[in-house]
Amino acid sequence: ADGYYEYTMNECVYSTSDYSDMVFLNSYSFNKVVDLQFNSTVGKYVGYTEEGVKYAENFNKDQAFLQQQKAAVDTFCRHNAQSADSAVRDKT
């Protein structure tokens, strides 16, 4: 029970069946507080804590890494959403 808890979460958020509004979110949290988050709509990391702002500044300097994160909408989100949606639709 005593200790620290750090984790990263990737999310794909969308509400249309053609995925045109899909957003990729990559959040870094420490003890249930989000320190920083990448949002594919914004196109960069945003820090929400003092520590998170420092990390965001460093991540945002790496253009190759940012391009990889922006591409995750297609490479990670759409691919997985299409697989999951077709599996659900095939069962109905």
Classified by CATH at the fold level, domain 6-84 comes out as 3.10.320
Q: Rounded to two decimals, what is the model's pTM?
A: 0.85
DSSP string, 12-37: EE--STT-TT-EEEEEEEETTEEEEE
Express each pLDDT in 8-17 by its tens digit: 999 999 998 8
Q: In whole numbers, what is the pLDDT of the chain averaged over residues?
A: 91
Beta strands in the chain (DSSP E): 6-13, 23-30, 33-39, 44-47
Phi and psi, residue 51, nearest 5°:
-65, -40
4: its two tokens: 């620290």
Phi and psi, residue 13, nearest 5°:
-115, 130
Residue 21 in this model has a pLDDT that exceeds 80: yes
Predicted local distance difference test score (pLDDT) of residue 26 = 97
Predicted local distance difference test score (pLDDT) of residue 91 = 61
Residue 65 in this model has a pLDDT that exceeds 80: yes
| Domain residue limits, the chain | 6-84
Predicted local distance difference test score (pLDDT) of residue 17 = 84
Predicted local distance difference test score (pLDDT) of residue 90 = 62
